[in-house]
Structure 1
Amino acid sequence: MMTSLRIAFLPLTDAAVLAVARERGFAEEEGLSLDLVRTTSWATLRDRLVYGQVQAAHMLAPLAVAVTLGLSQQPAALAAPFKLNVNGNMLVMASDFAKALDPDIVRRLADPLGTAHDFAAAIGLWRRKPVIGVVHRFSSHALTLRYWLASAGVDPDRDVMMRVLPPSLTVEAMRAGEIDGFIAGEPWGSAAVDAGLAETAAIGERIWRRGVEKILAFRESWMEENPDSVDRLLRALARAAAWCDDPANHGELAHLLSQPRYVDQPAELIACALSGNIVARVGEPAVANPDFMLFSREATPFPWRSQALWIYSQLARWGMVEHSADNAAKAGGVFRPDIFRRALANSAEPMPGASMKLEGAVAAPLAVGSRRGELTLGPDSFFDGRVFDPDRIEAFLETFGARR
């Protein structure tokens, strides 16, 4: 007998693992029938999950932490036992604004610190306080943007204006002149560049390599009450993630996601993120970023608690939550490596031996301890060289000074 699960998602390339689990039969082989509910905004998706309209959701990792901490509504305990991808977003700005940045696109993307300083200078030359679209206040994109801007002395709360809008509306908002740029998951940045509206200013993968992006979120209570369904879903997703990461499947995957029920954008734009070949300025050759978006390799699906705590550190840095041991524990507890290990215990999935690590400390591929098989982690460095120790959050926050 099949078990039906309703899962909410937004039309983004990083919903790929859910789409493939359904369309390639991985879920069906686990006795699951997936009803994927296409949703427009992250706020609506959040509410569908919190109020029980769906059993699970493709969710911004910081949003799951924020909901658990009660930052966007009454607290609702969410749990994330599986990461759907890492990286995969980029900041695009109006072509006129981008004239103040390094004209060499390859150099611009390779040097995020230098580009941040160029961006700071461009703010002073622009006709108004730049309006930058973000998909949600509690998104990896918004936190990444804040981190990057602040490195060049830009105060993201005073020097720019962040406007929240759904990813699928970003391109039209640029066309209408309502925003001067935006940071979002693919394929929306590529769509803005392809339309001649924008150039790429920075990509997430160069700001925090292997930075956490989307997770599979459950209401914690539902997850605990339905362990068999959860385990079967995670096994299906792990197989789907491996399929998505195989370059031989990228053409088929781009075509699948291009369909109206998923992303509803041209397959060639979707393929940019999958291949990592990013067209940063219309009419110019693509810039190769082979780690632009990962789904499976290097234990991408594993929910490191240290990544949830890095998210928490940024919420505390910007005064969105008061730092306390209790809040840190709640935030770190959103990511559930214990459930991941239980679900995939009898699979071939590499299993990290630890649940936390120093974030930003891996500068080159590194073989690490694994409970099964060989596991090599890729570089996870931050562009500014900082290292985040999840056991020393207060010390990390102090490195940002009084105006964190």
Structure 2
Amino acid sequence: MAATTAPGEFTLGFLPLVDACLPILALEHGFAEAEGLSLRLVRDMSWATVLDRLLYGHSDAAHLVAPLAIATALGRGRPAQPLSVPFVLGLNGNAVTMRPDLARAVNPAGGLGDPTAVGAALKAHIAATGEPLRLGVVHRYSSHNYMVRYWLAACGIRPDRDVEITTVAPPFCADALEFGEVDAICVGEPWNSVAVERGAGEIVLATAQIWRRGVEKVLAFREPVMEERRGDAEALIRALRKAGEHFVDPAHLDANAAILAQSEYLDGNAALIRRAISDRLLLSQGGEVLHYPDFMFQHREAANFPWVSQAEWLYSQMVRWDGMEFDAGDARKAARVFRPDVYRSALLGTNDPLPGASSKVEGSLLKPTSVSMQQGVITLENNSFFDGIAFDPILLETYIAGQRHQ
């Protein structure tokens, strides 16, 4: 049965991940209701089913991995359907977790490893064993896939030759590692922590170490639905921003972890969830909890703003790893998926800061930097890639050509 189109009623699909927190808290804390919305959340088990539900009209919007929205608009793997992303639900929040013996081989000092050093050790390990490793990611068109490929290639490891990258739905990633189906996983919380608690894996890297402010999950609409229901979409954006402000307040950690742990949402351990939402990770069974600031990034620095340059970086990786040729028309379509105009329209006149630009050079900042604003004040902090290479969207085609020569 298709989702209702009654004014103010919204059905939103999600997966049981910590970064589904903003829609969940917008519902539970009444922020959606205060904006005149009746929000209904529907949990699925894979990104494929979340997308199907959205495309076939069974949901009005979705918690979605950002590259999948772009791939759908470009017709990758299925007939093209225009999707729009007016809001980013979070940056980073994923980790690379390896089976314990492999983790200790490539990161003997423990702790969160240095990406370059871990990559070099992993390359040597693969060469010594002569066998490709199997690494599980949550979807072919996911930030997880592109982040780990970017990292591996920059370290001289050939994805699809030295490492076999396979798809595992997030709720099954810890199982796949525990039963030996994969040697490593890249997934969002709480599934890394679940693997650690079972002794099935050890966290070696956070994806924030690969790209400090990497785009992750987004709020996605079918474009015609968003345009038809523009007022409701903007009301949802305001509710999600209020939920984000509540979420990042340390005073609410216990209450929010308990909500997210409920059976209808993550159906998980509130203690593990609380660790994740407070940027704390248990890297190995029986070890010490590590505080890694900004492991998840949900609100500050206009974290929810859909920068067009983020979409263009994801397109660059799609071209690189899907064997596509650069196409200026496709690049424009990819860029148009992210809709900063809708975000601005929703929040203009509020206390929320609004950047003056819609695009920026990704990975260009190593220290706090003030940026020009349409509304309010923002200081952006470190957004670097681990290899020090920045992405200028004006030089998109040149950037892609340079990466293919790595």
Q: 1:26 aligns with which of 31, 34, 58?
A: 31
Aligned-partner Cα distance in 2 for 1:350–1:320: 39
TM-fit CA distance, 1:175: 1.9
Residue 395 of structure 1 aligns to which amino acid in structure 2?
T
Q: Which residue of 1 aligns with 2:62?
A: 57
The secondary structure found in structure 1 opposite 2:212 is coil
Q: 1:255 aligns with which of 254, 258, 270?
A: 258
Q: Which residue of 2 aligns with 1:136?
A: 139
Contact 2:348–2:375 (CA<8 Å) still a contact in 1?
no
Which stretches in structure 2 are left out of the alignment for 5+ residues?
A: 1-5
Aligned-partner Cα distance in 1 for 2:129–2:191: 23
TM-fit CA distance, 1:101: 1.5
Answering whether residue 270 of structure 2 is matched by residue 270 of structure 1, we say no
Residue 356 of structure 1 aligns to which amino acid in structure 2?
S
Aligned-partner Cα distance in 2 for 1:120–1:253: 40
Aligned-partner Cα distance in 2 for 1:60–1:261: 21
Q: Which residue of 2 aligns with 1:378?
A: 381
Contact 2:178–2:201 (CA<8 Å) still a contact in 1?
no
Q: List aligned pairs for 1:158-173, cutoff 5 A.
A: 158-173=161-176
TM-fit CA distance, 1:123: 2.2
TM-fit CA distance, 1:190: 1.0
> CA-atom RMSD, angstroms?
1.4
Aligned residues: 401
TM-fit CA distance, 1:365: 1.4
Contact 1:241–1:295 (CA<8 Å) still a contact in 2?
yes
Q: Which residue of 2 aligns with 1:367?
A: 370
Q: Which residue of 2 aligns with 1:330?
A: 333
TM-score (norm 1): 0.97
The secondary structure found in structure 2 opposite 1:52 is coil
Q: Deviations over 1:241-261 (max 9, x none)?
A: 111111221221111111111
Aligned-partner Cα distance in 2 for 1:212–1:196: 29
Contact 1:2–1:33 (CA<8 Å) still a contact in 2?
no
More deviation in 300-309 or 95-104? 95-104
Aligned-partner Cα distance in 1 for 2:323–2:402: 18
Q: Deviations over 1:159-216 (max 9, x none)?
A: 1111211100111122222111210011101110111111112110111001100000
Aligned-partner Cα distance in 1 for 2:250–2:129: 41
Q: 2:284 aligns with which of 281, 305, 327?
A: 281
Contact 1:80–1:217 (CA<8 Å) still a contact in 2?
yes
Answering whether residue 5 of structure 2 is matched by residue 5 of structure 1, we say no
Aligned-partner Cα distance in 2 for 1:383–1:161: 22
Contact 1:71–1:320 (CA<8 Å) still a contact in 2?
no
Residue 93 of structure 1 aligns to which amino acid in structure 2?
M
Residue 197 of structure 1 aligns to which amino acid in structure 2?
A
Aligned-partner Cα distance in 1 for 2:211–2:399: 16
Aligned-partner Cα distance in 2 for 1:180–1:216: 31
Aligned-partner Cα distance in 1 for 2:87–2:324: 25
More deviation in 162-171 or 118-127? 118-127
The secondary structure found in structure 1 opposite 2:155 is coil
Residue 395 of structure 2 aligns to which amino acid in structure 1?
R
TM-score (norm 2): 0.96
Aligned-partner Cα distance in 2 for 1:44–1:149: 29
TM-fit CA distance, 1:2: 6.9
More deviation in 249-258 or 207-216? 249-258
TM-aligned CA distance change 1:26 to 1:53, over 3 Å: same
Q: Which residue of 2 aligns with 1:242?
A: 245
Identity %, equivalent residues: 44
Q: 2:393 aligns with which of 372, 390, 394?
A: 390
Residue 97 of structure 1 aligns to which amino acid in structure 2?
L
